[in-house]
Amino acid sequence: MKATSIPQQGEPPSVTLNLSQPRVLVLNASYEPLHVCSIKRAITLMQYGVAEVLENSSDVVRSPSTVMFVPSVIRLKRYIRRPRIHPIPFSRRNVMRRDFYTCQYCGAKHELTLDHVIPRSKGGQHGWDNVVAACRDCNQKKGDRLVDEIGMPLRTRPKAPNFSMYAYGHIADVQPDWEKYMGH
């Protein structure tokens, strides 16, 4: 099977999709988000009757006998019991994913470090609500001072990530039709 974008009239398709790329949101039978899977996995689940399509993308998959739209959101037909969800572990990698590998002071994407919004020396904790990604220059400029003292506002307030942040963390191609299922 080959995945392509829908061509304009008379034009050959110009874009080939990676079928292994995570691009399909999978919902439980209760419409709760479970994870993001590849196009190939989503098509397999649909062909075996395990899942149904709720939203399609504008891309198509072609084989010699079939042409079908690439799903964007699928729902499992049977409820999957999951163990109680543990919080997403606090780690450098997960902080970077939450902040989309971007400095939360200036927006830079190079030489990233972790910064405590309220410095540890002033009682700040080492956790989701106090640690952000910061470039080396902003981290040094801020030093051991509070954000208000130095006049460096944060782009986003730090908080523990939810499913949507963790599921597609650094993936820039977030599908707009996922939002109504993500519980924002």
The residue-averaged pLDDT of 12-41 equals 81
Whether residue 13 has pLDDT greater than 70: no
Q: What residue spans define the domains of the chain?
A: 2-82, 84-172
The fold of 84-172 is DNA Binding (I), subunit A (1.10.30)
Q: Which of 162, 159, 139, 161 is nearest to 150 (CA)?
A: 139
What was the pLDDT predicted at 86? 61
| Percent of the chain at pLDDT exceeding 90 | 50
Residue 91 neighbours by CB distance under 10 Å:
9
Instruction: Write down the pTM of the prediction.
Output: 0.56
Show the CA angle centred on residue 79, arms to residues 38 and 166, nearest 5°.
Answer: 45
What was the pLDDT predicted at 169? 46
Whether residue 168 has pLDDT greater than 60: no
In sequence order, the 6+-apart residues with CB closer than 8 A to the CB of 11 are none
Q: What is the pLDDT of residues 49-68, one digit of tens each?
A: 999 999 998 888 888 998 89
CB half-sphere exposure, 15, CA atoms < 13 A: 12
